[in-house]
Amino acid sequence: MDTKDNVMICNEMSNKLGNDVIVQPEVVVPRRLGLSSGIAFVVGTIIGSGIFISPKGVLLGTGSVGLCLVAWGLSAAISFCGALVMAELGLLLPRSGGSYVYLHKAFGDFPAFLFVWVSAVVIGPAAQLVKSLTVAEYISRAALDECQRTQGWTKLTAAVVIISVAIVNVLSVRLAARTQVLFSVIKVGGLLVIIGGGIYSLVKGNYGILGSGFEGSNAELSGIASALYSGLWAFGGWGNLNYAMEELKKPQRNLPLSIGVSMLTVFFIYMLVNVSYFTLLTKDEFLSSWAVGVTWAEKLFGEGAIFVPIIVACSVFGSANGGAFVNSRMIFAAARDRNFPSLLCYLNVHSLIPTPSVILMTVLALIYLALPGNVGSILNLTGFIVWGTYGLIMVAHIVFKFQKDTKDTPRVVRVPIFVSLVVLVTCVYLVVAPFLDGVKMEYVFAFSVLVVGVFIYFPFIYYRFSVPGSVKLESKHGSKCKPSLVPTFTRFPESKYEGLRREVDVGYACPLLKRE
């Protein structure tokens, strides 16, 4: 539906509703992400600190080099299955918002709201915080002596990282995309150096512990599951491009290509990097290392190993940049559907970026940074929520195969149900696994956030009750920020006009921040 159609429908509605409807042309955010940006986005969000840290957990769970490599391959296969499902869903429902859009379509407003609530309040900001602290930690290892590294310096550096990522994502989509490409090139280049070191060792005849094969394998299911948990964590981020569907050029071509090329690239890089680790490190060195990549570089390059902490910092910064991009689009999509505060669906009139959503995530991350305690443990232990969400998305994929309005929709990518079932079984285990060791306070915290979301949803989202002072706040906001170039529906009862409102396909339309 083009702008003229929207205006014609809105004019017809205006005749019915009087002054309740303000009719303006539709706004469509430009598609500025091409294939290279899409690949860089997926690769950049997947490759963070995982490949430098996770190998220890995978080897610890499997017990042998051979089984360790098998676990990495299995982690890649499961992740690739999930990515294929996301490719189908992204083209079936080509709206920005990713997981939120699929949960909303399959299960309705309430589950979708809870997902956005937990993601916006806990998981998103905490993830940005942990990534920023990781960047700060590796920068300090590269730039300072051990006695100079203080908690205050680390937190200050982390704050600078959080704000820098926000600035990049507020200024321009093109700038955010180019930043992602730049840091993806840096991290892949650094990993190629590690791979080159491994090839050099093999050429010299140094096979390290590669020759041990499956010796010492741990056949216990719990160990294999623990190894998969570490491996899958390193592959996390395979569905993030779906959050920017409306900003991706030629999505029917570029979405599956970006996902496919990225997953294969990451798989081969991860396998070759692990082989390189095994050529130089003993098993004891591997398992006693806090970051295998750094230990490997220190053993091979000595004092020249300083480049590895820098590469890790760049790698995690790129992942943080992608995370900010993803989270802001998710919040925007929910707010656009009136399933989150409407202020968060406003776009900057110049850059067409959901600036309020970026600011919200940044402020929450800075607040968490100022709090005492280990936020990283909260993030890790709420991982069951993330995998629970992926599990629900796999269920949604199955639902869409039979749902009346989607089962016969032509699909560019068609993934068999058994593929989503494989991922679903994995997700069920990863949701249940953290509770096998007993219930901890972090689990209670995560559950309490869900409960708070329930108490917020029904009065303020479902029944549309107003917070005291919200009308005054809205009018104050309206005097400074003028809706522009968009069909805008203001101050009318939701239930009375919702049916008419849904007749207008406004796409990516929403109010724009514009100074008078």
**Using one digit for the tens of pLDDT, what is the confidence trace for 230-274?**
898 889 888 889 988 988 999 999 999 999 999 999 999 999 999
Q: What does the alpha-carbon distance between residue 46 and residue 51 come to, in Å, rounded to a whole number? A: 10
* CA–centroid distance for 503 within its chain: 32
The answer on pLDDT for 177 being more than 90 is no
Judge residue 47's burial from the number of C-beta atoms within 10 Å of its C-beta, 0-12 exposed, 13-18 middle, 19 or more buried.
Answer: buried
**pLDDT, position 501:** 35
Which range has highest mean pLDDT (27-31, 96-100, 490-494)? 96-100
**pLDDT, position 374:** 63
Amino acid at 335: A
Amino acid at 258: S
**pLDDT, position 159:** 95
Confidence label for 484 from pLDDT (cuts 50, 70 and 90): very low
* Cβ pair 331, 360 in contact under 8 A: yes
pLDDT digits (tens, 9 = 90+) for 291-346: 788 888 888 887 777 888 888 888 889 889 988 988 898 998 898 888 888 888 88
Q: Which residue would you say has higher pLDDT here, 68 or 223?
A: 68
* Cβ pair 275, 51 in contact under 8 A: no
Confidence label for 17 from pLDDT (cuts 50, 70 and 90): very low
Q: Tokens 């096979």, residue?
A: 207
**pLDDT, position 448:** 87
Q: Which of 176-180, 390-394, 473-477 has the lowest average pLDDT?
A: 473-477
Residues recorded for the chain? 516
Confidence label for 44 from pLDDT (cuts 50, 70 and 90): confident
The answer on pLDDT for 500 being more than 70 is no
- Spatial CA neighbour of 53 closest among 289, 299, 262, 273: 289
Crossing angle of helices 65-92/221-234, nearest 10°? Answer: 50
**pLDDT, position 378:** 59
Q: What does the alpha-carbon distance between residue 335 and residue 416 come to, in Å, rounded to a whole number? A: 32
Pairing of strands 21-22, 488-489: antiparallel
Q: What is the dihedral of CA 74, 211, 217, 277, to 10 degrees?
A: -60
Q: In terms of C-beta distances under 8 Å and separation of at least 24 residues, what long-range contacts does 133-138 make, across chains too?
A: 133/158, 133/369, 133/376, 134/48, 134/49, 134/312, 134/313, 134/316, 135/161, 135/313, 135/316, 135/317, 135/320, 136/161, 138/309, 138/310, 138/312, 138/313, 138/316
Domains along the sequence of the chain with CATH: 1-27+485-516 (no CATH), 28-462+472-484 (1.20.1740.10)
Q: pLDDT averaged over the chain?
A: 80
Q: Phi then psi for 89, rounded to 5 degrees? A: -65, -35
* Cβ pair 41, 240 in contact under 8 A: yes
Q: What is the DSSP letter of 466?
A: P
Q: What is the mean pLDDT of residues 449-465?
A: 87
Q: What is the DSSP letter of 467?
A: P
The answer on pLDDT for 487 being more than 70 is no
Q: Which of 20-24, 186-190, 400-404 has the lowest average pLDDT?
A: 20-24
Judge residue 4's burial from the number of C-beta atoms within 10 Å of its C-beta, 0-12 exposed, 13-18 middle, 19 or more buried.
Answer: exposed
Give residues with Cβ within 8 angstroms of 282, minimum separation 6. Answer: 208, 209
Q: What does the alpha-carbon distance between residue 335 and residue 341 come to, in Å, rounded to a whole number? A: 6
Q: What does the alpha-carbon distance between residue 73 and residue 88 come to, in Å, rounded to a whole number? A: 23
Give residues with Cβ within 8 angstroms of 373, minimum separation 6. Answer: none
